[in-house]
Every structure is written in C-alpha cells, then in structure tokens.
A and B are shown apart, each in its own frame.
Chain A
C-alpha cells in the first residue's frame, strides 16, 4: 500500500480522511513496514466500509489486515441502530465466530518431550480433521436447535467440559438472541455430521510451550509460566456457519436495491439492523456463534481426554476462548455517552481492558486474554486488553499473522512432506491427512506474526503477555 495515500497520525496509526461517499474516516493501525506490505485493496475496502449507513467513529483496519470480501480481513466497524445502521454478512464472514481457545495444562515442555510423538498420534486419531471428516455426534433437528441456542452451555450439558469453562468463554459460552428458525434446513443438514470437527485450511489444534514472557504479573495471573505447556484450538462454526454466510450474502445482495442501499462492492451486502432481513440475519448469525462455541467446547473436551490418557493428574484449565469473526451488540462511549452499537469484527479479536463487566472475576483486574494464532512453524501470542483498548477501535485487536502468499504460490514453493520434515528437525511435530494442505500452510506463506503483535502493542490495541512456540500441530 502506498503510504502517501495516508495521513500519518503516529508510527502505528494512519488515517484516511473522509472523501466521496465516506461518512467517517478510515484508520489503519500498523507500522510503516506492515502497511507497505498490505494490498492496496485493504485501503479501498476500508473506504468502502466507511461509506456504509450508520457507521460510527471510523472504519478500522488491524495490523494484520489483508484483502477480504467487502470488509478487509482485520476490519472493525460499529453501526448505530438508531442512525440507520446496518449488519453485514460479509462483515462477519463465512466462518462465523471462528476463534481460538487456549487451555493451560500444568505441564512443562520436559514433561511432554518423551511422549510428544504418541501424544500427537493420539490427538490426530481423536480429533476429526480435514475435508470429509465427521464427528461422532449426530444431532436430531431438535438437538441441533438446542445446540444453536445453547452454545458451549449446551455442549456442557451433553458432558463436554467443565462448568468453570463457561465464564472463560465470550458471552459466558452462550450467545443470546440466537434464533434457530432463521437457520435454513440446508445449513442444519450441512452441520449434521460436523459437530466436534476441526476443519481444514488454517485451522489447527496445537500443543505449544511458552517461549517468552513479556508481562510477568499478567502471565502469572493467567497461569502462564516459562516453558509451561498449553493447548490451543483454532476453528469455527463449520458447515453451518459457512452455509448461513453463503445464503445471507446472496439474499443481502439481491435485496440491497429494495432496501435502498447502494453498494460500492457487492460483497459489502448488508441490511438495516431495523429490518426483517437484518433481524433474521442476526438470529441466524448468533446461532452460528453458538455452533462455534459448542464446537470448540467439544474439541477442547477431546483434547482433555487424550491428555488424561498420558497425564492422569494433569488438568487442562481453560484460559479463554475468543471469536474473531462476529457482529456483537456492545455498549461503547461515543462523544461521552454510552451507546449500544453493533460491532463487526472480521478477522479481529475483542480486547476488553481491566474491569470489563463481562470478564470473570479472576481476570477482571488484568483484562481479557487476546489469543493470536500464528503459523505452525513460528509463534502464537497471548495478549491482554488494556485500559486504552476501548479508546481506539471499540476494544479490538489483531487476530493472527495473515497470509502473504497465495495457496498456489506456497504449493509451488514447498512440498508438504519437506515442510513437515523441516519442522520435525526443529522439534515441531505436524500431523495432517494432507501433505498438500501442509504445503499450503507453510510458515513462509504467512506474514511475521511478531511484527503484527508488536504493532498491535505499540498502537495501544492490546499488550503482549507471552509468546508461544508450537510443539505439536494437528492440521486439517
């Protein structure tokens, strides 16, 4: 991206003043190097989002922003329902409530080193991964609807997980306002065999060790110590979310003219919050969030079962579960007044600071854990929301590294088996049904996640707590 197109506000904050149809400015949080690497389309998409009805404050892009569909991936935008605000299926994305959960294990790297090969084998056998894989659960229509309303709470009632998990999941594990009646029969059918499956692409289950601590006090409060082992899971709402996104995107594109919405890009398809279509999408999208929360709850339980075989005394404690493809109704301060807004985070993580009422008591003095997934060969991070987070992009931060190379380029450059062997040489075990998938996810295909989180911290969006290094990676 050409930096001369932007106004520099600070080293990590760049503004696009309103012009043309823009109702608010665009703000990109990133350092000059990250911005130079960004596609020009990010800027165009930030501008387009700024033109949507009812947008408040600014159209934001996080340091890992890249070319998305309508919204940039790494885009954040809030809409005022009292000012004609909209909800956008493209602003949430196909993988509704895709996110990351991290569990501490009470083990350290030396504990798992002797068994990591067999641990990887067992996790790979236990957790269904890759295209065509199916979970053990088969839900009737009635059970499916209960899951879509209950989220992780429903999963807990089915025997997956522990009651104390719930307060460590956004929305207490259950997104209110879900309406299964707004979810089509086709979306139901697409999910029928997919509960408890990881998916493919950039989704993973990793065993990671804490390689570096940046903030000792917060790390200790989170139960994170040097060389301690954690388990992280990155996945979303599977076929159900994909189908909801697909169907509502098409419907919003088709209905835009009738709703009086001029779209600079079809992928920005949206509907007024105060419209039948808008309400129906919110009901379906919230059901999709619950599907993702239930899915991660089930997979977390499967990981616990595997660890219990190897380490009967170990307890996998949920640190937190974040979603990074959502639209949520939240209260934020606008011009000194509290205002209920619908905040879209498309490839962006909520990052509430200390004292946020939704945080469980033990986390409230510290702020919300912000879980950032990197590529399988490099690093992931745990960040924490700060008191400044709210003043920037409605308490939002980055969500990952972001690709810098297409899947095809990656496949031409690397072979899956060579990537796996190279990582094994560095002590990282990769298990996947797909060498081709491993090649497409090669570490070199991703941006430097460390640069992304450094910029996130400098911009005041969230603060680094620890860096995680992968030890075992299960990929679809």
Chain B
C-alpha cells in the first residue's frame, strides 16, 4: 500500500471510507474501500483523481451527472472510472466530490468539480483509461466493499 487517505464519512464501526494507490510499474493502481459498494466506487474515483492531480486543491463549483451500466460489478467499475475519465477529457474538468447510486447493473452519479487549472491543481499524468488488470469488486470479511483496478496513464 503506497498511499492511503480518507475521504468521506466514518461508518458505523468508526472506520472511514478511504482510497489508496497500489503499485504498478508503468501505471497506477486505484483502490476504493467503503461501507457500501457505492462508497467503494466513490473512493476509487477519488483515487483516480488523486493519480491525476492534487485532489485537495479542486473546488466543487459545477455538478455533472454521469450514467453508465455493465453486466457485472467489475465491468461496472471499469465503465464508471472510464466515464469519469471521459468527463475529465471532454469537459476539461477535475472532480473532487462523487455521489454514486447503483441499481442492479446501472450506475448514476453526481460529480462536482471545476475547470482544470494546471498550476493550481498540480496536474501530473492524464488517465487514458481504466483497465481489467488487478480488477476486483468484492465485499471483504469485515463487511466493507473494495473496488480496484489499474489505470493506464
């Protein structure tokens, strides 16, 4: 585990939802852990943003609605992260707040952020897309959910 940060509310056991990066030589692994599948997906998106820029410097000025769907949880995570990558690329925005709702095989989300400011956001590499490498969405023994994959940068 290389980076581990909390973002969001503590759950009923007092353990905060969190995201982290895990190592991949050429690219970067993003992992979200949360009290629910939705929370884990939100945290994975924070990890994605943190791979691109300094997430604490992004201001939630504008809200964007995102929708996607896939046949199973793991494919849905890839679709979700790719949808975020697409919104970053086409809107020229970075996001710092995500609210995810999952209903069966479809996902709806609100993402809040602002236009990219290369200097202020201390941008690094752009994300090209989420991959199926190290892809996993599962409920852990402690009841929390984990959502992770490697992102090509």
Contact = CB atoms under 8 A, between A and B. Distances in A.
A436 B122 contact: yes
Contacts of B21: 408
Interface string B5-26: 0000000000000000101111
A66 B26 contact: yes
Contacts of A242: 85, 89, 128-129, 152
Contacts of B70: 250
Looking at A94, A189, A199, A435, the one whose CB has the most chain B CB atoms below 10 A away is: A94
B128 A433 contact: no
B132 A131 contact: no
Nearest to A68: B26
A39 B131 CA distance: 19
Interface stretch (A277-285, A291-299, A399-407, A448-456): A399-407
Given A132-B118, A245-B129, A250-B75, A407 B124 contact: yes
A292 B95 CA distance: 28
A355 B115 CA distance: 52
A266 interface: yes
A134 B126 CA distance: 13
A84 interface: no
B102 interface: no
A363 to B, nearest CB: 32
Contacts of A199: 126
**What size tier do the contact residues of chain A reach?**
35 or more
Interface string B115-153: 111110011111011111101000000000000001011
A134 B89 contact: no
B92 A132 contact: yes
Contacts of B89: 190, 194, 239, 242
Contact of B23 (A68, A132, A409): A409
B23 to A, nearest CB: 5
A245 B86 CA distance: 13
Contacts of B75: 250, 253-254
Interface in B30-86: 51-54, 70-71, 75, 78-79, 82, 85-86
Contacts of B150: 69
A106 interface: no
Interface string B78-111: 1100100110111010000000000000000000
Nearest to B115: A132
A250 B122 contact: no
Contact of B25 (A132, A194, A405): A405
Contacts of A95: 128, 152
Contacts of A407: 27-28, 51, 124-125, 153
A374 interface: no
Contacts of B152: 69, 93-95, 242
A131 B123 contact: yes
B43 to A, nearest CB: 17
Interface string A228-240: 0000000000010
A-B pairs, 4 with minimum CB distance: A132-B116, A201-B125, A131-B126, A433-B118
19 contacts: A66-B25, A94-B129, A131-B53, A131-B116, A131-B123, A132-B117, A134-B92, A192-B90, A246-B130, A250-B79, A253-B75, A253-B132, A267-B133, A404-B25, A406-B2, A406-B24, A407-B51, A408-B3, A433-B118
